[in-house]
A and B are shown apart, each in its own frame.
Chain A
Amino acid sequence: MTKKRLHGRVIKHGKAQGIALVSPEPIGFLGGVDPDTGIVIELGHPLQGECVAGRILVFPTGKGSTVGSYTLYRLARNGLAPAGIINTESEAIVAVGAIIAGIPMVDQVDISQIRTGDAVSIDGEVVTIE
């Protein structure tokens, strides 16, 4: 299989790799993801029941309460944070959360190129899909 390379914009600089978990819908972390299990708990969310831990979490943008930044931090403290985050267009809650939790993050990426289950790596602004 050929590798596909996409270029984005760095929100939190770093390197990460993992298996993609792609949501077509925005994600709100406060009340949307359980910080003690890493499982998406928002009722009716396309990722409901999935665990974000260690995944490259791919979604259009964030939503919900600003306290959601701290949910990402708490996931990281519990060892349950996503390995990396890729957004179409980032907003302040997830961006601040990724920075304080130390999760490499890029945005302005065409996320329709990525499927759940793809092996994806992030290196600065470069996203590589295996």
Chain B
Amino acid sequence: MLAGEQGPAIQKAMEIVVALGKIYGATKLVPVTSVQVAGVSYKNLGQAGLDFLREWAAEGARVRVPTTLNPAGMDLQAWRELGIPETFARRQEAVIEAYRAMGISPTCSCTPYLVGNVPGFGEHVAWAESSAVSFANSVLGARTNREGGPSALAAAITGRTAAYGLHLDENRLARYLVDVRCPLRSEADLGALGYLIGQKVRNAVPYLTLPSFHPSILPLKTLGAAMAASGAVALYHVAGVTPEARHANMLAPDAQRMVIADLSPAYAALNAPVEKIDLVSIGCPHASLEEIAEIARAVEGKRLQAALWITTARQIKEKAAEAGYMATIEAAGGRLVADTCLVVAPIDALGFRTLATNSAKMAFYAPSHSGLQVRFGPLEQCLEAALTGRMKRET
């Protein structure tokens, strides 16, 4: 492949895989079973990124393993209703077209594991998107580094990645033991906890012991997403919950111990001093069908005062439509937005000034990415804000 006998597209991909292997000291390449590609929103890619993808597709780049896509910069079908400018929309469509030409399914979701891309325990994969990387490594027990756009794509085109970092056993041991002493009452508490851990451990692997709390696995997506945003945590273990921690002792012998007994510093850091809410954003990472069902029950027969956008994968949106949840939410004035996320969509252009969310990751990024003032709290409080247009500040 490296010599170019399979064409320039594969040669370029192999050059990337091999160069990264050299840089990170890998001694071999390993086959991957799936890839999640980031670098989809035109807002992040720009014209240069689009030109590059088109050129690579035209040279014959095709993926060899099941490959899914990260969120785009808009709902690919309902972009007009959301007020996305036409010039942006056309370029975003061209990005998707280039990926489609490479054989990638345009899932456009940060939760590929909810829409069929579910690697098994111990499988080597090459995933981009920090929250998905965290979920694949930690909750599924698959093995991936935090890939970038071109490196994930190169792995998909060659079917290989360099074996370094989290592909190797020794790097999956935890360097921090995080003893969590406070109760975790909501998904927002899990996000707040993740925010604090990410700040402290940066890119290391933490091992968490939680107080008599065994979350079902889906809320773990919000924990991992927050750790990956405030730090660069690509793998964590939870005693008795995540699969590797159930199979073996994943704590390094010299692990540093820390205690978290108070989540209020996270809530203080992630809340701006505002009460009036323009937009309530749920679905970072993308909402599951269960979360959408819960929202539908909460807003049924009511009328919202603030905009409510629930971001999710298109497949999940279709299921929510079939189950009637979407009609209930729309009747209240909310909407399900597919294919995108408010971190990568150009929402700064849509006139919203304040945002409430139950996602610590969204609360972390929205002020810098979109210039919004943000309130962060549990789903219940966010839905209350959607119903009243206000989110009271705790004294």
Is there contact, CB below 8 Å, between A9 and B15?
A: no
Which parts of B148-177 form the interface with A (CB within 8 Å)?
148-151
Q: Which stretch, B43-51, B102-110, B214-222, B357-365, touches the partner chain A? A: B43-51
Min CB distance A72 to B, Å, is 9
Identify the closest chain B residue to A67 (Cβ).
B44
Which parts of A30-75 form the interface with B (CB within 8 Å)?
35, 66-67, 69-71, 73-74
- Which chain A residues border B23 with CB–CB below 8 Å? 11, 90-92, 95
Min CB distance B313 to A, Å, is 24
Which parts of A1-45 form the interface with B (CB within 8 Å)?
9, 11-13, 35
Please tell me which one of the listed residues B12, B49, B149 contacts residue A99 in the complex, with CB atoms under 8 A apart: B12
- Which chain B residues border A100 with CB–CB below 8 Å? 12, 16, 52, 56, 150
- Which chain B residues border A77 with CB–CB below 8 Å? 48, 51
B210 within 8 A of A: no
Is there contact, CB below 8 Å, between A9 and B16?
A: no
A96 within 8 A of B: yes
- Which chain A residues border B149 with CB–CB below 8 Å? 66
Identify the closest chain B residue to A93 (Cβ).
B148
Min CB distance B339 to A, Å, is 21
Is there contact, CB below 8 Å, between A99 and B52?
A: no
Most chain-A Cβ atoms within 10 A of its Cβ — which of B15, B22, B44, B47?
A: B15
Min CB distance B324 to A, Å, is 41
Q: Report the bound CA distance from A32 to B19 in whole Å.
A: 23
Identify the closest chain A residue to B48 (Cβ).
A74
- Which chain A residues border B148 with CB–CB below 8 Å? 66, 69, 92-93, 96
Given A66-B148, A69-B150, are A92 and B20 also a contact pair (CB < 8 Å)? yes
Most chain-B Cβ atoms within 10 A of its Cβ — which of A9, A35, A90, A96?
A: A96
- Which chain A residues border B48 with CB–CB below 8 Å? 35, 70-71, 73-74, 77
Identify the closest chain A residue to B8 (Cβ).
A102
- Which chain B residues border A35 with CB–CB below 8 Å? 48
Interface string of B4-40 (1 = CB under 8 A from A): 0000000010011001101100000000000000000
- Which chain A residues border B45 with CB–CB below 8 Å? 67, 70
Q: Report the bound CA distance from A104 to B12 in whole Å.
A: 13
Interface string of B350-386 (1 = CB under 8 A from A): 0000000000000000000000000000000000000
Q: Report the bound CA distance from A9 to B51 in whole Å.
A: 29
- Which chain A residues border B19 with CB–CB below 8 Å? 11-12, 90, 95-96, 99
Q: Report the bound CA distance from A11 to B234 in whole Å.
A: 26
The DSSP consensus for interface residues of chain A is helix
- Which chain B residues border A74 with CB–CB below 8 Å? 46-48, 51
Most chain-A Cβ atoms within 10 A of its Cβ — which of B19, B20, B44, B148?
A: B19
Given A9-B22, A92-B20, A92-B151, are A99 and B15 also a contact pair (CB < 8 Å)? yes
Interface string of B195-225 (1 = CB under 8 A from A): 0000000000000000000000000000000
Is there contact, CB below 8 Å, between A73 and B52?
A: yes
Interface string of B46-68 (1 = CB under 8 A from A): 11110110001000000000000
Identify the closest chain A residue to B2 (Cβ).
A13
- Which chain B residues border A90 with CB–CB below 8 Å? 19, 22-23
Interface string of A89-110 (1 = CB under 8 A from B): 0111101100110000000000
Q: Report the bound CA distance from A15 to B366 in whole Å.
A: 45
Min CB distance B195 to A, Å, is 22
Given A66-B149, A77-B51, A100-B150, are A12 and B46 also a contact pair (CB < 8 Å)? no
- Which chain B residues border A67 with CB–CB below 8 Å? 44-46, 49
- Which chain A residues border B44 with CB–CB below 8 Å? 67
Q: Report the bound CA distance from A6 to B149 in whole Å.
A: 33
Identify the closest chain A residue to B44 (Cβ).
A67
Min CB distance A105 to B, Å, is 9
Is there contact, CB below 8 Å, between A99 and B51?
A: no
Identify the closest chain B residue to A96 (Cβ).
B150
- Which chain A residues border B56 with CB–CB below 8 Å? 100
Identify the closest chain B residue to A99 (Cβ).
B15
- Which chain B residues border A95 with CB–CB below 8 Å? 16, 19-20, 23
Min CB distance B160 to A, Å, is 15
Q: Can you identify 22 A-B contacts, CB atoms within 8 angstroms?
A: A9-B22, A11-B22, A12-B15, A12-B19, A13-B15, A66-B148, A69-B150, A70-B45, A70-B52, A71-B48, A73-B48, A73-B49, A74-B48, A90-B23, A92-B20, A93-B148, A96-B16, A96-B151, A99-B15, A99-B19, A100-B12, A100-B52
Chain B positions within 8 Å of A, measured between CB atoms, are 12, 15-16, 19-20, 22-23, 44-49, 51-52, 56, 148-151
What are the 4 A-B residue pairs with the smallest beta carbon separation, nearest first? A74-B48, A70-B48, A95-B19, A66-B148
Additional A-B contacts beyond A9-B22, A35-B48 (7; CB < 8 A): A12-B19, A67-B45, A71-B48, A90-B19, A96-B19, A96-B148, A99-B19
